[in-house]
Amino acid sequence: MRAVTVRGSDFRCYERVAVELPPGLVGVVGPNGAGKTALIEMIHFGCLGYSPRTTSEAQVVRFGAELLRVETDVAVSGGPVSVEIGYRPGEPKRITVNGAAERSVERLLGRFPVLVFTPDRLRLVQGAPALRRAYFDRVLARLWPAPAAASAEYARRLSQRNHLLRRVRAGRAEPGALDPWDRLLAEAGEQLIAARARLCTRLAGPFAGRLGALGGDPGEDPLRYRPNVEPGRSLEAALIERRGRDIERAVTGAGPHLDDVLLFEHDRDLRLYGSQGEQRRALLGLILAEADLLSEERDEPPLLLLDDVTGELDGERRRLLLEAVAGFDQAIVTTTDQADLGGAHASVLTVSGGRVAA
Amino acid sequence: MYSPAVENLITQLARLPGIGRRTAQRLAFYILRSPPDQALALADAIREVKEKIGVCEECFNLAEGPLCSICADARRDRTVICVVEDPSDVVAVERTHEYHGVYHVLGGALSPIDGVDPEHLRIAELLRRVEANAAVEVVLATNPTMTGEATAVYIADRLRGRCRVTRLASGLPVGGDLEYADEVTLGRAFSGRREM
Ligand SMILES: Nc1ncnc2c1ncn2[C@@H]1O[C@H](COP(=O)(O)OP(=O)(O)O)[C@@H](O)[C@H]1O
Ligand SMILES: [Mg+2]
Ligand SMILES: [Zn+2]
């Protein structure tokens, strides 16, 4: 997939902008504060309907403006598609795909393989397990929609069971009322555990490869799925066994909502012991591994958006990275210093003061 | 603020499911503008169903007397009981013409979030009926939704060893309502029911 043109109004620092995006490696070059990250964010928003940087999306509307619009023409394996998105904070987004209204933002995720690295996403490596679960479930949703549905279903069943635990603790319901919820929760939970285990198995090879190519030391097993209940074990049995304690605490204490996925270099857990540089490298490796798996499963290389990746890499690693991303239909890479693009064959867009020039 | 009478009408309408305050206002103004006999016909219709229609003593379906038309029909097989969530599901199953037993209307489905526990449904009554009718089969036809599934699992556990317990075959749209399934699909789900 690649983006062909993006037109935006009132998006971050861009009052009105129209950018032609060439295929292959595209450098977005400009000084700090010029609008490089905003351009990456706009392309992402234009394809997938949400910002990869922030959860308070009202921030992306230009100061003083009430609403923004982004229109993006992309080329996917099925042919050209144009996506138009209008957004006024507090209202549902207006999305059309080739002119037809699209109500669900999530559906864009399944339709357009766009992957993004921004330094904001470092939280994925540094932060709480919930962030990693959400990330891996999103990857699942893109790759295998059917098993991925287990994640949402599991969450619904879990909240029913937790409510019931509270009622049982308060003496307002019988413990026997938990029976069907144990079974239903276990059924969705085991599907989710199996799907995550399969995903981690499939990602492990590409992740080790990418990490090594970026100068890391992946060791034996850099991607470690840590399920709270092992795949193949009965989750229902685990729930029944814990029932007494669960009632006391009124929360469900076993199941995939307590899973984590650890990122390792050699025998160091990068969340706890990684340097900032190692954590960035792991995030980049993970995103490239996701790109590999997505290319393989969908027969179409994704569009890569890479913000501030070159800065911290030394010359050799930078060369390897640029070589690696050259295999994609399009990779849009920001940098303050055009020299960072080295000898790589790249088209350059120059950004300054809310304007973009070829 | 409207006059108390208008305000009261809006409040009463807004209590109906799926009706918010805005819609309630629109309906209230429509009623205010409509001719008196048309508006009063609505009031009469409401009064009439509340006076005439009650709940069947046997199966909790809607009934114009102590028994619903199905329980009052001597040709129906009382040893087969089809368990549904709501009276509208009885209508849906009847449309298939595949079923000749009787029904049991639970009055909803288990949903802890909404505060619906087993004792809020007519499950104890079902267990008593299974004994009293010497039932040979209970067909669990709760909706193919999370709450319908949980209800079926709960009841199946309690009936195990007492009689044959079956569940409608999959093929019904998951997450959907029995009520909206067409009669061919529902008929097929009925004849393909499986042991639970
Ligand atoms: N909602 C907004 N409205 C107007 N300007 C904004 C908004 N959000 C950020 N900016 C400004 O946009 C400029 C570009 O930011 P950014 O894209 O992050 O620059 P960089 O090129 O360093 O990546 C900054 O000066 C920033 O203050
Ligand atoms: Mg930036
Ligand atoms: Zn009856």
A63 Cβ closer than 6 Å to some ligand 1 atom: yes
Q: What share of chain A in percent tops pLDDT 70?
A: 99
Measured between CA atoms, how close is B113 to chain A, in angstroms? Answer: 6
B151 touches chain A (CB under 8 A): yes
Residues A291, A223, single domain; the answer is yes
User: Residue B115: what are its φ and ψ, rounded to 5°?
Assistant: 75, 20
Residue that finishes a domain, picked among A298, A331, A346: A298
**Tens digits of per-residue pLDDT, A262-315?**
999 988 999 999 998 899 999 999 999 999 999 999 889 999 999 998 876 778
Residue B179 lies in a domain: no
Same-domain check for residues A291 and A316: no
Residues B87 and B160 in one domain: yes
User: What is the per-residue pLDDT for A324?
Assistant: 84
Residues of A with Cβ-Cβ distance to B113 under 8 angstroms:
159-160, 163
pLDDT tens for A9-53 read: 999 999 999 999 999 999 999 999 999 999 999 999 999 999 998
Ligand nearest to the CA of A58: 1
Do A50 and A147 belong together in one domain?
Answer: no
Domain coverage including residue B99? 75-167
Q: Is residue A272 part of a domain?
A: yes
Tokens representing A232?
């193949």
The boundaries of the domain holding residue A25 are 1-113+300-358
Whole-angstrom distance, CA of residue A51 vs CA of residue A59:
10
* DSSP assignments along A248-287, one per residue: HHTS--SSGGG-EEEEEETTEEHHHH--HHHHHHHHHHHH
Is B66 domain-assigned?
no
Instruction: Collect all residues with Cβ–Cβ distance below 8 Å to A353 and sequence separation of at least 6.
Output: A13, A34, A35
Q: Determine whether the shortest distance from the Cβ of A222 to ligand 1 is under 6 A.
A: no
ipTM: 0.72
**Contact list, A172 vs chain B (CB under 8 Å):** 117
- The helix/strand/coil state of A183 is helix
Q: Check residue A63 and give its pLDDT.
A: 96
- pLDDT score of B156: 96
Could you tell me if A281 and A117 are in contact, meaning their C-beta atoms sit under 8 angstroms apart?
no
A162/A173 Cα distance (integer angstroms):
12
Domain of residue B100, CATH code: 3.40.1360.10
Residues of A with CB below 8 A from B151's CB? 180
Beta bridge partners of A268: A265
A115-to-A143, A177, A228 alpha-carbon distances in Å: 13, 44, 28
Interface residues from chain A to B (CB-CB < 8 Å): 153, 156-157, 159-161, 163-164, 167, 172-174, 176-177, 179-181, 183-184
Q: How far is CA B9 from the centre of its chain?
A: 27
Look over chain A and give the mean of its residue pLDDT values, rounded to a whole number. Answer: 93
**Closest chain B C-alpha to A58 CA, distance in angstroms:** 27
Phi, psi (rounded to 5 degrees) for A97: -120, 115
Ligand nearest to the CA of B73: 3
Decide if B60 touches A, using CB distance below 8 A.
no
Q: Closest partner residue to A159 among B110, B113, B150, by Cβ? A: B113
Please state, in angstroms and rounded to a whole number, the distance separating the CA atoms of residues B188 and A358.
63
Last residue of a domain, one of A283, A298, A313: A298
The full length of chain A comes to: 358
Select the residue of B113, B118, B152 nearest A177 (Cβ to Cβ).
B118
The answer as to whether A121 is a domain residue is: no
Binned at pLDDT 50, 70 and 90, residue A145 comes out as: confident
Query: Is residue B107 domain-shared with residue B158, that is, in the same domain?
Result: yes
Local confidence pLDDT in tens for the 196 residues of chain B: 789 999 999 999 999 988 989 999 999 999 999 999 999 999 999 999 888 999 999 999 999 999 999 999 999 999 999 999 999 999 999 998 889 999 999 999 999 999 999 999 999 999 999 999 999 999 999 998 999 999 999 999 999 999 999 998 776 666 667 777 788 888 888 888 889 8
Instruction: State the pLDDT at residue B171.
Output: 66
B150: closest chain A residue by CA: A180
Ligand 1 within 6 A of CB of A35: yes
Q: Are residues A174 and A217 in the same domain?
A: yes
Residues 6+ away with beta carbon under 8 Å from B67: B56, B57, B58
pLDDT at A183: 96
Residues B91 and B136 in one domain: yes
A54 falls within a domain: yes
> Is the shortest distance between the CB of A30 and ligand 1 below 6 Å?
yes
- Number of domains chain A contains: 2
Q: Which ligand is nearest to the CA of B60?
A: 3
Name the domain count of chain B: 2
Alpha-carbon span B150 to A183, nearest angstrom: 8
DSSP state of A310: S
Of B112, B119, B153, the CB nearest to A164: B112
- The CATH number for A354's domain is 3.40.50.300
Distance separating alpha carbons of residues B119 and B151, to the nearest angstrom: 12
Please indicate, yes or no, whether residues A82 and A47 belong to a single structural domain of this protein: yes
